[in-house]
Amino acid sequence: MIIGPESTGKSTLCEQLAQQYETMWCPEFAREYLLTNGTDYTYDDLLSIARGQLALEDEYTAMLTASHSSISIPHPPLFIDTDMYVMKVWCEFVFGKCHRFILEQIVERKYDLYLLCNTDLPWTPDELREYPDIESRRKLYAIYKDSMINQAVPWADISGVEEERLQKAIAAVSNLP
């Protein structure tokens, strides 16, 4: 699971890790949702985005499982760009509250590892990103880091230039039991 503020290389890292491990990665549902429905979203839109993200995650998990069902070895990992922690932070940062469903899914869904992308990459603007200032990005990163510290799943901080980030992520994945 790859999380972190906007423009911290989450999608790039997912794609690189999927290539490294010859597997799939699940994209962020919010991007397609906002491109389709516009960027003037509401609190309730975030619940729709959360449900869409989970459905997409389930779809990719099923595809990966099906593609390896005839092989006796376990299937490779699925790298996921965004989860319910991201939705929680987004809800609380923008609206000051979070949907109960999102909080329940944080407890219910189980992952092997979180990779938390740091804010040390340069900001890359696009039509969906909202917080270009480094102060907001650092504040968001601190919220994500606090979430990681206060949960039980192993996690790794991913920082540095592109190749450095990839190597840190590979090392974290390789250290899984």
The per-residue pLDDT for range 84-138, each reduced to its tens digit, is 999 999 999 999 999 999 999 999 999 999 999 999 998 887 888 888 788 999 9
**DSSP labels for 61-126?**
HHHHHHHTTTSSSPPPP-EEB--HHHHHHHHHHHHS---HHHHHHHHH---S-EEEE-S-SPP---
Which pLDDT score, from 0 to 100, does residue 72 have?
A: 53
**Assigned token pair, 13:** 């890292």
Please choose, from the candidates 144, 125, 5, 19, the residue with its C-alpha nearest in 3D space to the C-alpha of residue 28.
5
User: How does the average pLDDT of the chain come out, rounded?
Assistant: 93
Question: What fold characterizes domain 2-174?
Answer: Rossmann fold (3.40.50)
Q: Percentage of the chain with pLDDT > 70?
A: 96
- Ranges 81-85, 115-119, 159-163, 165-169: which has the least confidence: 159-163
The domain spans of the chain are: 2-174
Does the pTM of the predicted model rise above 0.75? Answer: yes
